Amino acid sequence: MVSLLLDSTQLEVVLSPTEKAMTFRRGNLRVPRETIVRAQLTDDAWTWLRGVPNPGIYLPVAVAMGTWKSAGGNDLVLIRRRRSSVVIDLEGHDEFERLILTTQHGASLLQALRLEVDGEPEDVAAIAKKKPRRRG
């Protein structure tokens, strides 16, 4: 599962070497915080898929990873089985309109996005455990 790092300016989706290979990406994805317009949890990420993998890997109900192209734009998809996931809608991002990520830290990400965070990237689970300082 992907790791998520958050600082005051961006969300970083940290990919393992296997995830990089399966998504056909060379590096991690960095998303400026101002491009995140909505984030929500889902128990069935498969229902959020739209379009076709290009490039990507798709094995129904097992794994979907890569870029999904549709009339609505490009989505970065990292889905594993029927596990809890987060769907992040973006506006104004250079590459993607949506991220669909299987992660055990989805709830922590939602909480961390509402909090004021420091300038150094930190795991969203660690941010969520800290004493809350609300964003103003």
Containing H/E element for 59? strand 52-59
Mind listing the pLDDT tens digit for each residue in 74-91? Answer: 999 999 998 889 999 999
104: pLDDT confidence band, cut at 50, 70 and 90? confident
What letter does residue 135 receive in the DSSP assignment?
A: -
119: pLDDT confidence band, cut at 50, 70 and 90? low
Evaluate if residue 120 carries a pLDDT over 80: no
133: pLDDT confidence band, cut at 50, 70 and 90? low
For residue 88, list its beta bridge partners.
39, 99
pTM of the model: 0.86
Give dist(CA 33, CA 39) in Å, integer. Answer: 11
Q: Are 20 and 64 in contact (CB under 8 A)?
A: no
135: pLDDT confidence band, cut at 50, 70 and 90? low
